[in-house]
Structure 1
Amino acid sequence: MATVPPNPVPFSEPPYLRGLPSPYYTSSHRNFQKACRAFLWENLISHALEWEREGAVPEHVFHTFCRHHMLIPNLPAPLPVEWLKRLGINDILGVKVEEWDYLHTGIYCDELARSGLAGPGASMTAGFAFGIPPMLRFGSRELQERFLPDLLTGRKRTCLAITEPEAGSDVANITTTAVKSPDGKYYIVNGTKKWITNGIWSDYTTMAVRTGGPNSGPAGLSLLVVPLRNHPGVTMRRLKVSGQATGGTTFIELDDVRVPVENLIGIEGHGMRYIMTNFNHERLVVSVGVTRQARVGLAAAFEYCLKREAFGKKLMDQPVVRHRLAKAGAELETMWAWIEQILYQLCHLEKGDADRELGGLTALAKAKAGMVLQECAQCAVLLFGGNGYTTTGQGEIAERLWREVPGTRIPGGSEDVLLDLAVRQLVKIYQVQTKELEKKEKKGSNI
């Protein structure tokens, strides 16, 4: 694979790839970045725009990625080393699976979005990033033995099915029911799921269902591994959405679908906690990819302004143009610095501590990333002018990025919900820490 050098256009690369010092990246990270960029350019990025226009990524691409273990990076770090080695997966482009950390994950997600388009990458990654992690963390050993060998190697595909027509960010309002059969051997599942990325290609899904009564609230939710493709009672159809044409967004209907009770993930009624924990990883990887999309849009606008003439001089010679680029650039680089900080913190925190301390901040980062993409995409569209309003030609990337903005600000918890969630989580941390300080002070006064 040929080496793909960093792009010299301002704002087009993270600072550490522009030769600036960074405290975060080791030689392992830098070597992986080079190998990752070369692999992704050859197998995805160089074809991404063409495939997005066509609305489909060829099936062989998924198999190529799996053959090179290049969907494993979508799993939360640290990786499930025992499982991977059992399956003969010892390294990812030279990085030993036991050495993989969240900075490697960040590099992968950043490079995956380097076309500026989320759809081509999302067409393959949703199962590994969102569907498999609950099985790894909460599934019984028996459940893992039945599903993980096929899913981790790509012989079978999965996805995550949480959202419903009437229950998006309001997860506690899920109405899809799972009622045990009279003999207790099956859950009978009925309901609908909507906007499910990759659903149309998935053999299974990690699905949120209501095992409690209709008024059971969050405590009535559970997670099941539900069969999809060609399974009796399951009907699926693709949905057309504004952006991410290749992402396989799917509407799923479930009519008396029989699911073995052994497909329950973890404990019945604990689904809400599992879902919320899973969201932390989802929001993080989305934040990284979205920030790279913003980078692509702003860099394209910057390059265009260096060559486009108006009113007798280059656009870049107009103070108002430079001002617009500067405002968007400040938002972009601030966002990336925050993401690097979170990635580094995840490398040095235990999982439980990270969930507690960074869950709210990760939600906030995901919300902010969407705002930054909107700022950079809008900047690109306005500076490209008519070209940025045209679906073909030199401004095509700006037009496509603008259509992808809602797809970053709504899924994984809509923006307003995440902003509120972040503050509520910070309040909880404050209250816990305050009580601990009070206990220490009281104990100290009694000595």
Structure 2
Amino acid sequence: MSSPSKIPFSEPPYLCGLPSPYYNESHRDWQKTCRKFIEDNLLKHALEWETQETVPDHVWEKFAEGNMLIPSIGAPLPVEWLHKVGIRELPGGLKVENFDYFHTLIYADEMARSGLAGPSGSLTTGMAFGVPPLIKFANKQVQERFLPELLTGKKRSCIAITEPEAGSDVANISTTAVKSKDSKHYIINGTKKWITNGIWTDYSTMAVRTGGPGPGGLSMVVVPLKNYPGVNMRRLKVSGQISAGTTFIELDDVKVPVENLIGTEGMGMKYVMTNFNHERLTIAIGATRQARVALSAAFEYVMKREAFGKTLIEQPVVRHRLAKCGALLDSQWAWVEQFVYQMTKLPKSVADIELGGLTALCKAQAGIVLNECAQCAVLLFGGNGYTRTGQGEIAEKIYREVPGIRIPGGSEDVMLDLAVRQLVKNYQTKMKEMERPRGSSKL
């Protein structure tokens, strides 16, 4: 059965009627469910809300009521906890225990179909990156205090790591958490910057320094933010993704119970780095869809725009630009699909080691591909691509969002270096494992 005609590069190949080994009936049903829910409740007004710089509160409430924030946590979902709070199915009847990483891929791809990271990021970032450390590393008592309200959307979360002097260099975090004289509280002082969703957050998952310098002195603590004594927050105006609520946070003698510690003191760096893998892969998925939106919008435009007596698509230089970007885009998507397939087959402990560096590389490459596709779109839209309203508005907005992919979640140059260092480390470890024990005479 042939698929309806689509603008070239506007959809992943599996949605264009081409065969794929990855997607089963459950995945295809989930894609249809996601598309309808997200179109009805987010995409219809995403461009308008991004221009207004805020997504209305009722959108969060709709997603929470529909259990459509849960998929941003990523596979496997915390089934036991979801059952505890009464969530057994996602929209379309998908049981939470059957949710795999291809369902995650589809959800992240559909959430980015507006081409803008801000509207979707305003809903998902806190749940996607602030909640998982609680699920993975917090003790039962901490989980019972916070997870019921966070999983049901009654309260909001965020991940608070980055500081003015410590971005990709996580080990350089200087925000301190010193125990009170009676050892019942942490007294937290410092600043956090570029914290997505921070302005709306009830409980942040925060990286703090409980010990000496370096990575061994870091811990993670649940720190209340909104209307909490000693916490001052203000929104930051960044180039793109404005509606996602980028926030500057000042912490002045913020008193937090020691019971808010996540896991063990001194293990914060491990928790942060483990959490980064999911963050970077979902950034790569969303960025690849943004590149797709930009390139397909340009493709549609050049097929109708006329100059010098013919449509732009009849110009060889235009086709050349589209071809180069199309090759990059579909190659990136194929890598993302391959990556997700590997995650469905490898145990989490193995995937963290084998794919950790490659996740960083995939995220970096997604930013590079987005930059090429967005720049191509702006150039092909011409003056319209340089204008914040009108036919080229989406291309102009996406192009401003490129740095928001290439910098957050680990800046591009750091990611490229990290990928190679991790690959070398894995190679050296495996070589040592293959070495014959000293003194052995066995061949």
Normalising by structure 2, report the TM-score: 0.98
Residues 277-335 of structure 1 show CA distances to partners (whole Å, capped at 9, x for unaligned) of 00000001000000000000000000001000111111000000000000000000000
What aligned pairs does 1:109-120 form with structure 2 within 5 A after superposition?
Answer: 109-120=108-119
Match of 2:154 in 1: 155
Aligned to 1:312: 309
Q: How does 1:399-414 map to 2 (within 5 A)?
A: 399-414=396-411
Alignment of 1:44-443 (within 5 A): 44-93=42-91, 94-213=93-212, 216-439=213-436
Aligned partners of 1:374 and 1:90: how far apart in 2? 40
Alignment-derived partner of residue 442 in structure 2: 446
Give 3-state SS (helix, strand or coil) of 1:320's partner.
helix
Distance 1:300 1:189, change over 3 A: same
For residue 382 of structure 1, give the secondary structure of its aligned residue in structure 2.
Answer: helix
What CA deviation, in whole Å up to 9, does each residue of 1:387-407 have, x standing for no partner? 000000000000001100000
Q: Which runs of 5+ in 2 are unaligned?
A: none
Secondary structure of 1:191's aligned partner: strand
Tell me the CA shift for residue 439 of structure 1. Answer: 3.6
Describe the superposition over 1:20-68 as per-residue Cα deviations: whole angstroms up to 9, x where unpaired. 0000000000000001000000000111001111111010100110111
- Report the CA distance shift for 1:303/1:438 in structure 2 as closer, same or farther (over 3 A): same
Amino acid at match of 1:242: S
Q: How many residues align?
A: 440
- Give per-residue Cα distances to partners, 1:373-392, cap 9 Å, x unaligned: 00000000000000000000
In structure 2, what is the equivalent of residue 8 of structure 1?
A: 6
- Residues of 1 paired with 2:55 and 2:206: CA distance? 25
Q: In 1, distance between residues paired with 2:28 and 2:152?
A: 26
CA distance in 2, matches of 1:334, 1:39: 29
Distance 1:274 1:342 in 2: 22
**Alpha-carbon distance in structure 2 between the residues aligned to 1:339 and 1:311:** 40
Alpha-carbon contact 1:225-1:265 (below 8 Å) kept: yes
Measured after TM superposition, the shift of residue 76 of structure 1 is 2.6
Q: Which runs of 4+ in 1 moved over 4 A?
A: 440-443
User: Percent same amino acid among aligned pairs?
Assistant: 70
Q: 1:438: how far off?
A: 1.8
Equivalent position SS for 2:435: helix
* 1:275 counterpart SS class: helix
Compute the RMSD of aligned alpha carbons.
1.3
* Cα displacement string for residues 389-431 of structure 1 (whole angstroms, at most 9, x for unaligned residues): 0000000000001100000000000000000000000001101
Q: Which residue of 16, 21, 24 corresponds with 2:22?
A: 24
Between stretches 191-200 and 70-79, larger displacement belongs to 70-79
Rounded to whole Å, the distance in 2 between the matches of 1:124 and 1:254 is 24
User: Any unmatched runs of 5+ in structure 1?
Assistant: none
In 2, Cα distance between the equivalents of 1:267 and 1:183? 19
Shift, 1:74, TM fit: 0.8
Aligned-partner residue type, residue 194 of structure 1:
K
Determine helix, strand or coil for the equivalent of 1:208: strand
Contact 1:204 1:228 in 2 (8 A): yes
Q: In structure 1, what residue type is equivalent to 2:107?
A: Y
Shift of 1:88: 1.1
Output the CA distance in 2 between the equivalents of 1:80 and 1:229: 26
Letter of the 2:160 counterpart: A
- CA distance, structure 1, for counterparts of residue 40 and residue 409 of structure 2: 30
Quote the Cα distance in structure 2 between the aligned partners of 1:30 and 1:115.
Answer: 20
TM-score scaled by structure 1?
A: 0.97
SS at match of 2:242: coil
Query: 1:141 and 1:258 mapped to 2: Cα distance?
Result: 22
CA contact (8 A) 1:6 1:17 kept: no
Q: CA deviation at 1:245?
A: 1.2
